Amino acid sequence: MTGRFISFEGIDGAGKSTHIEALADAWRAQGRCVTLTREPGGTPLAEQLRALVLHQSMDALTEALLIFAGRRDHLQQVIEPALARGEWVLCDRFTDATFAYQGGGRGFDLEVLHTLERWVQAASAPELGLRQPDLTIWFDLPAAVAAQRLAGARVPDRFEAQPQAFFERVREGYAQRMAQNPTRFLRVQADQDRASVWQDLQHQLEARGWR
């Protein structure tokens, strides 16, 4: 019995949330046991760290450390146990978001992020390598479109309040991660209506044997 770890990524406004819910329902209907979770967050401790990261000002290293601290707790308390039970773990954002937002958006040192990734995602045995998603679904759209969608939507957090140029760098960060992990990533063009995005996603998942 092997679980599956699937992460969902994209800049703010990419519209991933409804598709995550719909995919969870679809896989449950196929008899899968699905755990739905998110980052930053996913455990009581990591949710407290999330509130700090989204609303308190701090320097870039502090931000990266808090995000990875929450990730460690989330992996140990939720993700690894669920995978061990054979469940499908659907995670709204994971480490690619750190490379995109902290690395791309903030311009933070990628080497430090790689080091933290190695520490936090080390598997129980060295030969097992790093824990990474089996599949990462990237809802990709231009920052200008995301800005239009989000305009006046709600009180922005520390990331949503960033200018468009920040999200262009975040998008570029995702593109770089995809270039480094082409088989893990599935890119969906999110600059379409919701039904078309869903159809595109279904076709790509079927082509890869995930549906």
CA contacts within 13 A on the Cβ side of 36:
12
- Residue 150 neighbours by CB distance under 10 Å: 15
C-alpha to C-alpha distance for 129 and 123, rounded to whole angstroms: 6
Sign of CA dihedral 32, 37, 38, 43: negative
> Does residue 117 bind ligand TYD (CB under 6 A)?
no
Give the x/- contact pattern for ligand TYD in 39-78, rule: CB under 6 A: xx--------------------------x-----------
CB of 193 to ligand TYD, least distance (A): 20
**Which position among 19, 74, 93, 131 is part of the footprint of ligand TYD (CB under 6 A)?**
93
Q: Do 143 and 167 touch, CB atoms closer than 8 A?
A: yes
Residue indicated by tokens 């995919």:
23
**Which position among 12, 87, 117, 140 is part of the footprint of ligand TYD (CB under 6 A)?**
12
Complex with ligand TYD: residue 157 or 211, whichever CB lies closer? 157
> Does residue 14 bind ligand TYD (CB under 6 A)?
no
Q: Which residues bind ligand TYD (CB under 6 A)?
A: 12, 39-40, 67, 92-93, 97-98, 101-102, 159-160
